[in-house]
Amino acid sequence: MTQTVPAPLPADFFPADCPVQSVPVLGSRKWAWRIVRCLEGGPRRFSELRVPLAGITAKVLAESLRSMEQDGAVVRTEYAENPPRVEYALTPLGRTLLGPMDAVCEWSRENLGSLLAARLEYERAER
């Protein structure tokens, strides 16, 4: 019975090079998860993406796609046509995100109700 108390957490509990703090590609970007989902079925054009991503502005969509491209999750292909056509697609690396994303989505499906209930309960207990 020497282990009734958990060991204290060391200062280097998280290694300096451990950026699991937040998924880099999905970052804190509001739209990144949904963009990945939209590209799951194949390449999409810029304006085509704006339909399901209701409310996104061109600026934010362009910014998001650019940052995902920097991270190697998305490829941008420009066709020399007129009017111009640009397609975005997931790279193999981008596709590897689908696994963890599915895990999170399943978590939401199973536990979101409890979470929302907890919020209401907290609010109720406040007063």
Partner DNA sequence: CCGTATCCGAACCGATACTG
Partner DNA sequence: CAGTATCGGTTCGGATACGG
Q: Which has the closest alpha carbon to 94: 72, 111, 115, 109?
A: 72
Half-sphere exposure of 22 (CA within 13 A, CB side): 9
Kindly state whether residue 39 participates in binding DNA, applying the rule CB under 7 A: no
Out of 84, 92, 110, 123, the residue judged to bind DNA by CB under 7 A: 84
Q: Which has the closest alpha carbon to 74: 83, 84, 86?
A: 86
The site for DNA, by CB under 7 A, has a size of 25
Kindly state whether residue 92 participates in binding DNA, applying the rule CB under 7 A: no
**Residues forming the site for its own copies (CB under 8 A):** 6-14, 18-25, 28, 30-31, 33-34, 37-38, 41-42, 44, 48-49, 51-54, 69-73, 93, 96-97, 99-100, 103-108, 110-112, 114-115, 117-119, 121-122
